[in-house]
Amino acid sequence: MPERTVRELGDEHRARFRALVDYAFDAAGGPRSDDSYEETPRMLGRKVGVFEADEPRAVCVHHDFSARVREDWLPMAGLAAVATPPEHRREGLARTLVEDALGRWRGEYPLAALWPFDHAYYRQFGWALSNTAVRYACPPAALAPARDADGIAYPVDPGEWERLQPAHEAHGADRNLTLRRDEEWWRRRVFRSLGGGRRYVYAVERDGRVDGYVAYTVENGGTELRVSDLAFRDREAYRRVLGLLADHDSQVETVVLYREDERSLFSLVDDPEALDCTVSPGPQVRVVAVEHALEAVAYPDDATASLRLAVTDRHAPWNDGCFELRVDDGVGECRRVDGEHGDADVTLDIGTLSQLYVGFRAPVELRRTGDLEASDESVEALATLFPPQTVHLREYF
């Protein structure tokens, strides 16, 4: 068997990369000719592949993000577009890409995220659910009570992206895993779809300030308005966005939008039975390196604790072992220590630690479901250090 190497793809591999990704994610579209290569929004990021004899056998994309995590912006890696053609599947190539990515990210990114095609598949590599996705579908008229909200709504074009940025960041101030966006992301991933098609984007303005926005497409033969992104500073701005969607009642049959919980929209309509609500698993996250991650995160200002954590990680050996975490007045220090897992205050795997880290699950819940072992005292200390948070990674990549 030829030697396998993992390295970044050059320009000469663009067509091969596109062919592998198209087959994995859009096989129904059929093969495309090599002379029709287009750098679509899906192609953003750093392209990496597993090579045999200078031929990419499997590929992926690495993204460089800054994410909101417990009051701070932290570097976060993103893994996307993992694609292996059928003739090379079940050869361990995806595992090679995942483990290589963790090694590349170590020391630079405390945390990584991905949107899985199958949650169980990536769970075997240490990734864990970061948040659920709540899908609402309803007739536009169901949103009519929001029409009386204050403010004006008007369309914006990609050149006006900076006007939307403050509303995006205000919306994410209390939602973990909100991403900080640059101009390219706004232009190519908000104003456009992954396939490159244009989206409609409307701003909501009050007193001369943009307090919210919504991006959407009209699909299914013009019968469905599908929201891809929305943000707002407060409840009234949210209602104004919903009022705009309600005004499509003469044009579409259904509005579809996603939120982080299954309660917020029910409280804003007169007829909650008109809403169809579906909760599904969302993205997954993973701590890249325990010591780096536990020292990078912000703890509550008055938090003081000392815990010994026994972590299991089969795919990143630097995480597999015992770690001592000391937090004094909100500042954490973490170091690897010698000792058996039986000497630890808390025993857990890397996926469980990742869920604690972003605030998706509470320590008492994790112990109840058997995902961690700890005494009452240690669970209480964990709850002080890692209180549950609202987690909502909105950006699909």
Residue range 247-284, pLDDT digits in tens: 999 999 999 999 988 778 999 999 999 999 999 999 99
Mean of pLDDT over the chain: 93
pLDDT for residue 262: 74
Pick 133-281's CATH classification: 3.40.190.10, 3.65.10.10, 2.40.10.10, 3.40.630.30: 3.40.630.30
CATH architecture, range 289-385: 2-Layer Sandwich (3.30)
Q: Which two tokens stand for residue 237?
A: 């701005």
Q: Which two tokens stand for residue 59?
A: 């590929």
Asked if 194 and 41 touch (Cβ cutoff 8 Å), the reply is: yes
Containing 338, the helix (H) or strand (E) segment is none
SS3 content of the chain, % helix, strand, coil (to 5): 35, 35, 30
Q: Has residue 33 got a pLDDT over 70?
A: no
Domain limits, CATH 3.30.1050.10, in the chain: 289-385
Query: Mean pLDDT across the stretch 277-303?
Result: 96
Cα distance from N-terminal residue to C-terminal residue, the chain: 34
Specify the 3-state DSSP secondary structure of 174. helix
Phi and psi of 117, rounded to 5°? Answer: -75, -25
Q: Has residue 29 got a pLDDT over 80?
A: no
pLDDT for residue 23: 86
Residue range 108-123, pLDDT digits in tens: 999 999 999 999 999 9
Q: What angle do CA 93, 94, 98 make, to 5 degrees?
A: 120
What are the contacts of 165-173 at 24+ separation with CB within 8 A?
166/209, 166/210, 167/210, 167/211, 167/212, 167/213, 167/231, 167/232, 167/233, 167/237, 168/213, 168/231, 170/231, 170/233, 171/212, 171/231, 171/232, 171/233, 172/68, 172/231, 173/68
pTM over 0.85: yes
Q: What is the CA radius of gyration of the chain?
A: 23
- Distance (Å, whole) CA 315 – CA 103: 10
Does domain 4-105 fall under CATH 3.40.630.30? My reply is yes
Domain limits, CATH 3.40.630.30, in the chain: 4-105, 133-281
